[in-house]
Amino acid sequence: MATRKQSELYSGKAKTVYITDDPTQLILYFRDDTSAFDGKKIERFSRKGEINNKFNAFIMEKLAAAGIPTHFERLLSEQESLVKRLEMFPIECVVRNIATGSLCRRLGVQDGLDLDPPVFEFFLKDDARHDPMINEYHIRTFGWANPKQVEQMKEYTFRINDILKVLFLEAGLLLVDYKLEFGDVQGQVLLGDEFTPDGCRLWDVKTREKLDKDRFRHGLGGVTEAYEEVARRLGMPL
């Protein structure tokens, strides 16, 4: 029986999450609008929801095939996907292979510097406090996740780096950095949320042209076109 959408659970920057008639499943609706700078900049891009929904499905399936447990179940429609319902940790896991963005602002390091080994950072999901950086002691003391779950999140985040760096490089793209979110279901840590160009940075390997959400953040234009270009290079069906 097809899972039916019921009430809205949560509406984020670019997705709305719906409860379904199955308590173990949720529906993600990828909207066309996008926001940056804590919601100060909002714009709508035709076809972006559909591209991100399909992009996320493609990446989640690649990760699952490589042994990473994820919440993704299947595509339901152009802009909707069915996922397992998780108890999300209020934490963002970021890995950086090249310095840019907030790392450069915080530490004054040169934009574009190769990071070897890659840098791992935790942030607290708290828009009102602009997602402050936290460490494992904060996570443990405030009970946001237990030490075993923290280890699991780090392990998966680095394994995902190994898998996706290669996948993108073969498509002529540098995986500069990305943000992941995890959740728990029945004592298991699973990758949740999404993996799309909204939550990672991808640069053309030769020109270092930005092909991700930075085009929107910095008003560079061609946002949808850049996402489509990444999808095309990955050989994704759109």
Binding site for ligand C5P (CB under 6 A): 92, 94, 101-103, 131, 177-179, 199-201, 213
Q: How many CA atoms lie within 13 A of 198 on its CB side?
A: 25
The H or E element spanning position 118 is strand 114-124
Least Å from the CB of residue 149 to ligand C5P:
20
How is 50-83 classified by DSSP, letter by letter? HHHHHHHHHHHHHHHHTT--BSEEEE-SSSEEEE
Nearer of residues 176 and 231 to ligand C5P, judged by Cβ: 176
Least Å from the CB of residue 238 to ligand C5P:
21
- Provide the β-strand partners of residue 104: none
Instruction: Give dist(CA 40, CA 216) in Å, integer.
Output: 12
Orientation angle between helical segments 223-233 and 48-65, nearest 10 degrees: 30
Least Å from the CB of residue 95 to ligand C5P:
9
Nearer of residues 25 and 102 to ligand C5P, judged by Cβ: 102
CB 98 within 8 A of CB 113: yes
Nearer of residues 101 and 118 to ligand C5P, judged by Cβ: 101
Nearer of residues 84 and 201 to ligand C5P, judged by Cβ: 201
Residue nearest ligand C5P (C-beta atom): 101
Least Å from the CB of residue 218 to ligand C5P:
12
Which residue type is seen at 46?
S
Least Å from the CB of residue 199 to ligand C5P:
3
Instruction: Give dist(CA 136, CA 139) in Å, integer.
Output: 5
Instruction: Give dist(CA 1, CA 205) in Å, integer.
Output: 45
Nearer of residues 103 and 145 to ligand C5P, judged by Cβ: 103
Least Å from the CB of residue 102 to ligand C5P:
3
Nearer of residues 192 and 199 to ligand C5P, judged by Cβ: 199
CB 111 within 8 A of CB 100: yes
Nearer of residues 73 and 131 to ligand C5P, judged by Cβ: 131
Least Å from the CB of residue 214 to ligand C5P:
8
Cα→Cα distances 54→74, 103, 173, 210, Å: 10, 30, 19, 20
